[in-house]
Structure formats: C-alpha cells, structure tokens
Amino acid sequence: MLTGDLLIGGRAVRGTNGEIYGLNAATGERLPTSFGGASEADLDQAAALAWDAFPLYRETALEARAAFLEKIAEEILAIGDDLITRAMAETGLPRGRLEGERGRTMGQLRLFASELRAGRFQDVRIDPADPERKPAPKPDLRLRNIAIGPVAVFGASNFPLAFSVAGGDTASALAAGCPVIVKAHSAHPGTSELVGRAVQKAVAESGMPEGTFALLYDSGLAIGQALVADPRIRAVGFTGSRAGGLALMAVAAKRKQPIPVYAEMSSINPVILFPEALQARGRAIGTAFAGSLTLGAGQFCTNPGLLLALEGPGLDDFLAGASEALSTIPAQTMLTAGIAKAYAENRARLAGHEAVKLVAEGQEGEGAQGRAGLFETDAAQFLADHALQDEVFGATGLVVRCRDLGELEQVLDALEGQLTIALHISDGDEADARRLLPKLELLAGRILVNGFGTGVEVSPAMVHGGPYPATSDGRSTSVGTRAIERFLRPVSYQDLPEALRPAALR
Amino acid sequence: MLTGDLLIGGRAVRGTNGEIYGLNAATGERLPTSFGGASEADLDQAAALAWDAFPLYRETALEARAAFLEKIAEEILAIGDDLITRAMAETGLPRGRLEGERGRTMGQLRLFASELRAGRFQDVRIDPADPERKPAPKPDLRLRNIAIGPVAVFGASNFPLAFSVAGGDTASALAAGCPVIVKAHSAHPGTSELVGRAVQKAVAESGMPEGTFALLYDSGLAIGQALVADPRIRAVGFTGSRAGGLALMAVAAKRKQPIPVYAEMSSINPVILFPEALQARGRAIGTAFAGSLTLGAGQFCTNPGLLLALEGPGLDDFLAGASEALSTIPAQTMLTAGIAKAYAENRARLAGHEAVKLVAEGQEGEGAQGRAGLFETDAAQFLADHALQDEVFGATGLVVRCRDLGELEQVLDALEGQLTIALHISDGDEADARRLLPKLELLAGRILVNGFGTGVEVSPAMVHGGPYPATSDGRSTSVGTRAIERFLRPVSYQDLPEALRPAALR
C-alpha cells in the first residue's frame, strides 16, 4: 500500500535525495518501504505549484473549501485500520491513543469547516461612503482578511496525526485559503504517506488546484530549511524542540521578506499546589498528577514537568499519593530511540544534580522505554540554577518546595513563558490564587484550576500557545478556531465599484 | 510654558544626557527651550514605573479607560493655539494642516474610547462545561485578550500630533491596556512636551497609575535603542524610515525575549493609470495627482511616488495636466533641514539617472524647501534597476510607461510590499483591473479606485499597513480600530471558579 513517494501536485514522485525508513519504535527495526528524500528540484516544483494554486485556492467559495476539509476527514477515516497499525509501529503509541487522535484530527478539520461556513474569520467590515461629509467626502471602505500565502507545515513527532500531515496547522492553513507544503516528520513517514494520500485524493475529488497540497520527506535538515527560505512560502507552522524552532525562526528572519514562524517549542507547564487543597486532598491530587505526568510516556507539550508546592501538612500526602501511583506505572516505549536516549540523559542529569533528590520512580523499562521519575528541590536551589527550568521531554517532574507565597512569587518571576499553568486550590486558597493571577496571565497562554494541562480541548476558547519561548509568537494559538488567524492578513478596499469587489464585500 | 523636562511618573525631570533644541524648520534657527536628553537611569525609572503600572492599568474598568482617553483629547485641545504655533515652527507645516491633524488626533482617541465601551477587542469567548460528555467531561473554557505589556512608541517626524506623543500608536496601546513610553521625535520636542504634559495631566486627573505614561528625549540614538531592548518593554510602535525601522527590528530580535515591532517604514504607493480612464479624463487625473503628490510637501507615507501608466492616447493628457498643475505649485518647507537635504539629493540622483527624463517641476524654492518633480522612464528600464523603486521622501513622482497589461504585470511582480495601490479606471478598464486585483491584494494593505492614498480615514475598515518592507508586519494596521490588536494576546481560562474569573468572563 505504501510506495515511499513524495506527493507533489497530484502525482507521486520518487525522491532521490537520500532515503529514510520508518522504524519500529519499540524494537528499532526497519519497517517496510523506503521513503525517498526530496531534492531542491522537488521542493522548487512543490513551491511553484503552491504559488500557482494560491490565487485560485484562496478565492474558492467558503462552502467548497468547507466540503474539501470534510472530505479530507472522510478520506482519513477511509484508510481504515492500516493507519492505526502503521502509526502504532512507528510511534510506539497505543491503539486507544491513536484512535482518539484520529478522531481529534477529523474533528479539527470539521471544526474549521464550520468556521468557514460561519465566515467570521474574514472579519468583513463595511464602512459606507458619505459624499456629504465636510470638509471632505467620506469614501466607501471595506475590509476583509485574506490568506497570507502558501504555508510550510512541519510534522510533529508526538502527534503523528493531530499535528502532522493533516493536523491542526494544516487544517487551519487550508481553511484560511493557504496551500500547504508538509515536511513529514522522519519518525513516521509511513503514517505521513497514508494521510498525505488521503489529502491528495480529497484535493482531486474536490476539484481544488493540484498545488493545494504537497508532502515532502527530508533525509536531513536541508530541505526543511530551504522550504522556510523559499520566497513563495509565506508562513510556517512547527511543533517540536526549542532548538528546531529557533533554527527555523533564524532562517525566516534572514529572508529578503521575513515571514511569521509559528513555532510551538518547549514548556514545563508549572502546577501550583496550594496548602488547603493539599491538606484536603493531597493524596488524590498526587495520584491524578502521576496519571497526567505519564500520559503518552510524558511526551505532551503540556506535560506537567514542574510542581510549585507551598509547604504545609498536605504536601507529604501529595508526594505519597504521587509516589504510590508512579511506582505501579510501567515504563513506556518512547516515540523514537533518539527521544528515549535524550530522555534518559536529561533525567540522569537531573537525578545527579546536587540540589535535587529522587522522590519516586515508575517501573524500570528496557530499550526505548522511558521510566517515569519524580524529583524535588527547594525554591532557593531552583532559583540558583536556571538549568533546572530546562524541559525534560518525557515523564519526569520536579517538585519545588516554596516556604511561602513570597518565595513562590520569586520562582514565578524567574520562569520563562509557558503553554499552561495549573492551580490546585480549595476555597481557602482562593485569595492567594487571585493575588497570583495577574502574574500567571503574563506567563502562560492557558490557566487552569484543579486539573492538568494534558488534554487540550479543540474549542473556540482554547489557547494553545504562550509567551516566548513556549512559542515563537505569544499572540497566537495553534489549537482552536483562532489558529486560523495565523494565516490571514487584512486588506482594505476603498471606493471599489461593485463589479470589482470581492464577493464577501458586496 | 515649556521647560524641556522629561516626563516620568507624574514628575518633570531635567534630562542630563545631552541637549536637543527645536529648530525653526523654515529658517533653521533655534527655538526657545533646551530639552535634556534622557540617561539610562531615566529610562530605567520610566520602565520600572511602567512595569509597576501595568497590572493595575490593564485591569482598569473599560469605562474608566475610555474616559481617560477622552480626557487626553480634551487636554490636547485645552493647550490652545500654543500647540499649533509651536508645531508650525518646528515642522514647517501650515496652520490648516496642523489644526486638521489635531482634530484627527482627538478623533483617534475618541474612536478608541468607543471601542473600549463596545468591548469587542477583548474577543470574549465562553465555551461552557459539559460534565456528561463521553469519554471525558468537557471543561469550562473562557478566552479573552489581555494587554501585551508596556509599549515603546517612537514619534514620527511627519505627523507631529497624529503619530507622535498621543497619536495612533499611543492611543491604541493605551486602549489595549498597555502603559506607554514615548521617545519624542527630535524634530519637534516642544510640540512633544506640550502634548506630553496634556497626557500626564489626564493620567493624574483620571486617577491612572503614574507609570501609565512617560515622555523621553534622546540626544542621539542610544536611548531609543535601549528602550526597545529593555525587558519590561513588550512591543514597539514606530513610523519612520526603513533604516530606522530595520534597526529597531534588529534590536528587538536580539532580546532574550523577542517582541513584536510594528514599524511603518517605506512605500512608494503605486498608482495604475488605465487607458480608458486616461482617455476620458487624463488631464483631470493629472491635476488631481499633482495635488496629492505635493500635499504636505510630499511627506506622507502614502504619497503617490510611482505611476504605472498603460500607453495610449490619454497618457499625454495626463502628463500635460500634471505638468501644468505642478508648474504652479510653490516649493514647500520640509520637516527638517536633514529631510530637505536628503530629498534634494535623492531627487537629483533620479534626475541624473540615464534612463529617467524630467517631465515637469514645481516652482523653485530656497533653503529647506522642497521643489516638486515629475519624472518618467519605461518599464524595461524600471525593471533593469531596482534602485528606481527607492522611496524619494518628498514631492517627487516617477511615471513608468508600460506597453501593455503584460508588461504592467511584470512591473507589479517586481515591486516590494506597499501601503497602498490606487487604480484609475473607467468602465472599459474594469475587466483588466479585475485581472490584476489578486496580485494587488498581495502587494498592498489598501487598494483604492479613482483616488489617491493620501488621506487615510480613521475607520474600522481601514488598513494602514502592508507587506514587508512597507511595514515590519503585514498582518497589522496602525490606523483604524484594528490597530489595538497589535498590543493584545489571548489567554484561555479553564475551570476557574467564579470568584477567580476576570470580570469580562463572568
């Protein structure tokens, strides 16, 4: 069923610039099919087709574009179980998670279809003429948002469906009216081809221009960087490491015409534990925390890696609950051997830090499995070493003991921008929580109470973003309907005769 | 009435880091009052006060903030004629223009006051909980936009009121809930102090935190750059030269936490002349063009510096009409001696270009006056030398003769991003104009028909922005209600108890 071909303009083309293979995440063995890397010429062709498609695609009727997104969702479902089994093999993620992620992916496409039908994203504003105004007549002014141009999307290792080939970045860019060129993540090329072919089929069957979509593999880093540098690309969507995001930002900033890069990078998602909540239900919070920390082997952008705990009688209950739960949790296969190796190293560095103490561990694993870990330190030590803020991508958490609210505030003042901050409170903690809120709003894109940030609703009211360096652009979200705004810009039309006005402005 | 003091936190402080003087634009003579340049310590104090004010100011009630903006407008009017006469002396602009600009400045403040009362800018979204949802309960999610943080505003030389101390950037930033630190333009320090004192008085009388506003003079470039680099500054508004804008963008990009810079830089605002329009009313278009070109000595960001004319029998009529009108237009005093010198040099370079021919000139001037000029070349020559696209800031225009629509499209393909593009058409030109429209939408922030871009309405449907390098960020506008969006970012609140919810989300 898989061919390993690049998908460019309705065709499947063998890439000749090196090869990549999907690997079984658990065993490291090569999976069937070799994928040919894209050359500069392949990229040039995909970009040329995207640029040709752009004027046509961005002016397709909203209903036609909505039906196209729904068609993509249908075609993804029509792949059937082959998609799930291939993704399981390539990522090590379990069936239930991937089936859920497929549903989420389809849900995102359908949400943007309904946004298109609602039309609100166009922000149409009509300010009519007033020929009688003094001292000068008032012109007719009409505004709408238009698509920004072809978009480069980089597949994410940790969401092989919902943030890869037809994930949130692609869905919102296509909804905005932007052709998309996807650089497949090299950790799941087979999953990427399956979904890519579903999108390609939807393009053809919906009568969209052939350059609306392309899928490229990159045997190294050069093609991905050349994609961001290409003058026909006008925005970038990326979810991944901070180093990866910063590298793409640097390429974009060096272009003759700089473009926005929406990179979702790193976050340790602080969880603040208040004393009354700990006293009332410390153990239960600990148990729930262990579940959130280890979900998907801890490989979520919103994984709760930092706990800021106010000292008090309930903190031991929390630690006991978390420790007990963690100790029963099996090690889990990580997404790639490289991620597992980096996790083991970063976890070991934390464990070996002189100011850090091991609190509890999950069950031991083997090979590419990651073993959960919970560590602790105190606020003074945390403040003394900025490296304790570094994300450990995986199921490792660090508890920072804070003597009082003042010390907690000092820690907050030292934190970098985050995707989420969670607060665990009881009624008696509310006054202190309210005092912190203004600080928290400046630190994170989402603030939540008595829960954990893992589990990101696809909602009009969601912000999956946050101040730098959580993302490259804290004014944006990559999940929820506002994600479409990243790929739009406003144009004002003054005194255009009816015949020249774009349909939305008549 | 003037003291030359820095305005920091409700106080007037003598700056000790060099001196600047306002100069009479016409004569070059020093005007009364020396203005003391801000030191690093002054900047630090202003930034510290802005940072302290921020949490209070951004949560002031919308009605209180609206009344504060209206109070600023009142206080500006209350300065009386001293403001107009000082601005006339410092800028060389005539009374009528400055009285109009004062009205515009007050109008902008009042427009944002009404935006605050409407509240739409907060983009409040409430997505209620559904505890019964399967497989997992749905949380309560609420979104609002919050202010991004203290904003640095750089006064513009060419709008001493409407884009300086209390101009569009300041009004929109204050409306968003951001404290503002203004770096006064050194060409009109007296005008800046007068307006700054009006804002300072409004801050005090409205009971806003004292750090809500500050005004600094810079005897060089260092304090302005240090302002952009300051970690407490979270966004920048700038209108000026491309070199100035790029320099501030570079400072912002090098920060530990990069911030958005909204720089409105350079634009030559192409005017496309279609053959039927030229044939029907070429002479009248030429006359109107000469008026737009020379308005305010040609010192508008939207000045029509480039005319793309389709060859045909009406083109001579246009040139004759423009030439006749231009020849009667007196030279006008430019904003500064430096601007006048640069204008004379750039105009001379264009006049001396081997592919460029003089068509007509305005009347000769003296000293710091700028003489209008109209030049012509053809499309092939224009395409051969990118330097012919360089903005000549002042009343100089270049006509590019295009043989046919194909050649015109080639010229459009070679153009950089623009603020505006104007089309002059008759009914018979509509089909060709429609064909160009998709290209024009990608080139400019505003497209207008049978008019000129000078005269920027303050309207909800206005875009005063455009693709790089017209501005640093083609997703934004600096005029009109959408200007407020530049200083906001979204935050999502999940499952917050009623008592913790920001008022707008209850």
CB contact under 8 A, B492 and A450: no
pLDDT of residue B1: 84
**pLDDT higher than 90, residue B195:** yes
Please confirm, yes or no, whether B29 is among the known catalytic residues.
no
**pLDDT higher than 90, residue A142:** yes
Across all residues in chain B, what is the average pLDDT? 97
Which residues from B are below 8 Å from A146, CB to CB?
441
Question: First vs last Cα of chain B: how many Å apart?
Answer: 48
CB contact under 8 A, B492 and A438: no
The residue annotated as part of the active site, out of B70, B90, B115, B264, is B264
Could you give phi then psi for residue A25, rounded to 5 degrees? -60, -30
Helix, strand, or coil (residue B343): helix
Q: What is the pLDDT of residues A470-494, one digit of tens each?
A: 999 999 999 999 999 999 999 999 9
Which residues from A are below 8 Å from B101, CB to CB?
none
H/E element holding B492?
A: strand B488-494
Q: How far is B468 from chain A (nearest CA, A)?
A: 6
Helix, strand, or coil (residue B503): helix
When pLDDT is averaged across residues A248-259 and rounded to a whole number, the result is 95
Nearest to B53 by CA among B169, B149, B154, B172: B149
pLDDT of residue B41: 98
Q: How far is B35 from chain A (nearest CA, A)?
A: 36
Top residue of A101, A492, A505 to mutate, by most chain B CBs within 10 Å, is A492
Residues B157 and B177 sit within 8 Å (Cβ to Cβ): no
Tokens of B65: 């903030």
Nearest to A305 by CA among A271, A277, A336, A339: A271
Name the residue of chain B whose CA is nearest to A436's CA: B500
Q: How far is A30 from chain B (nearest CA, A)?
A: 35
The residue annotated as part of the active site, out of B70, B210, B301, B407, is B301
When pLDDT is averaged across residues B393-401 and rounded to a whole number, the result is 98
**pLDDT higher than 90, residue A178:** yes
Kindly write down the DSSP assignment for every residue of A356-422, as one continuous string.
-EEEEE-----TTEE--EEEEEEHHHHHH-GGGGS--TTTEEEEEEESSHHHHHHHHHHPPPEEEEE
**pLDDT higher than 90, residue B470:** yes
Which residues from A are below 8 Å from B460, CB to CB?
125, 127, 143
Residues B154 and B185 sit within 8 Å (Cβ to Cβ): yes
Q: How far is A86 from chain B (nearest CA, A)?
A: 25
Residue with tokens 């000790």: B16
CB contact under 8 A, A475 and B496: no
Tokens of A143: 């505004």
Name the residue of chain A whose CA is nearest to B496's CA: A449
Tokens of B327: 């020849």
Top residue of B436, B492, B496, B506 to mutate, by most chain A CBs within 10 Å, is B492
Which residues from A are below 8 Å from B497, CB to CB?
430, 449
Peptide bond into A135 cis (omega under 30): yes
Q: How far is A494 from chain B (nearest CA, A)?
A: 4
pTM summary value:
0.97
**pLDDT higher than 90, residue A6:** yes
When pLDDT is averaged across residues A276-299 and rounded to a whole number, the result is 97
**pLDDT higher than 90, residue A430:** yes
Residues A257 and A235 sit within 8 Å (Cβ to Cβ): no
How large is the ipTM? 0.97
Q: What is the pLDDT of residues A436-476, one digit of tens each?
A: 999 999 999 999 999 999 989 999 999 999 999 999 999 99
Q: What is the pLDDT of residues B223-278, one digit of tens each?
A: 999 999 999 999 999 999 999 999 999 999 999 999 999 999 999 999 999 999 99
When pLDDT is averaged across residues A363-379 and rounded to a whole number, the result is 97
CB contact under 8 A, A492 and B136: no
Which residues from A are below 8 Å from B232, CB to CB?
none
CB contact under 8 A, A499 and B430: yes
Identify which of B125, B460, B467 has the shortest CB distance to residue A461.
B125
pLDDT of residue B94: 96
Which residues from B are below 8 Å from A450, CB to CB?
495
CB contact under 8 A, A446 and B125: no
Which residues from A are below 8 Å from B496, CB to CB?
447-449
User: pLDDT band for position B354 (50/70/90)?
Assistant: very high
Q: Do the bridges between strand B373-378 and strand B357-361 make them parallel or antiparallel, or are there none, so unpaired? A: antiparallel
Q: How far is A23 from chain B (nearest CA, A)?
A: 31
pLDDT of residue A75: 98
Identify which of A141, A142, A490 has the shortest CB distance to residue B482.
A490
pLDDT of residue A485: 98
Identify which of A148, A482, A494 has the shortest CB distance to residue B446.
A494
CB contact under 8 A, A257 and B467: yes
CB contact under 8 A, B500 and A437: yes
**pLDDT higher than 90, residue A1:** no
Which residues from A are below 8 Å from B495, CB to CB?
448-451
pLDDT of residue A196: 98
Q: What is the pLDDT of residues B87-123, one digit of tens each?
A: 999 999 999 999 999 999 999 999 999 999 999 999 9
Q: Do the bridges between strand A6-8 and strand A180-183 make them parallel or antiparallel, or are there none, so unpaired? A: unpaired
pLDDT of residue A307: 98
Instruction: Please state, in angstroms and rounded to a whole number, the distance separating the CA atoms of residues A364 and A327.
Output: 9
Instruction: Please state, in angstroms and rounded to a whole number, the distance separating the CA atoms of residues B49 and B181.
Output: 10
Top residue of B122, B151, B494, B506 to mutate, by most chain A CBs within 10 Å, is B494
CB contact under 8 A, B463 and A492: yes
When pLDDT is averaged across residues A28-38 and rounded to a whole number, the result is 97
Residue with tokens 């003087």: B21
CB contact under 8 A, B497 and A430: yes
Across all residues in chain A, what is the average pLDDT? 97
Catalytic sites of A, residue numbers: 264, 301
pLDDT of residue A135: 87
Q: How far is A474 from chain B (nearest CA, A)?
A: 7
Q: What is the pLDDT of residues B4-24, one digit of tens each?
A: 999 999 999 999 999 999 999
CB contact under 8 A, A138 and B457: yes
Name the residue of chain B whose CA is nearest to A469's CA: B257
B176, amino acid identity: A
Residue with tokens 């963008």: B249
Kindly write down the DSSP assignment for every residue of A109-176, as one continuous string.
HHHHHHHHHH-GGG--EEE--BTT-SSSPBPPEEEEEEE---EEEEPPTT-TTTTSTTSHHHHHHHHH
Rounded alpha-carbon distances, angstroms, from residue A62 to A57, B111, B461: 10, 32, 21
Name the residue of chain A whose CA is nearest to B498's CA: A430
When pLDDT is averaged across residues B31-50 and rounded to a whole number, the result is 98
CB contact under 8 A, B490 and A430: no
Q: What is the pLDDT of residues B73-89, one digit of tens each?
A: 999 999 999 999 999 99
Nearest to B125 by CA among B452, B492, B500: B492
Name the residue of chain A whose CA is nearest to B58's CA: A438
Q: Number of A to B CB contacts under 8 A, please give it.
A: 172
CB contact under 8 A, B257 and A467: yes
Q: How far is A12 from chain B (nearest CA, A)?
A: 30
Residue with tokens 């820690």: A411
CB contact under 8 A, B143 and A496: no
Residue with tokens 């750059």: B225
Instruction: Please state, in angstroms and rounded to a whole number, the distance separating the CA atoms of residues B456 and A206.
Output: 41
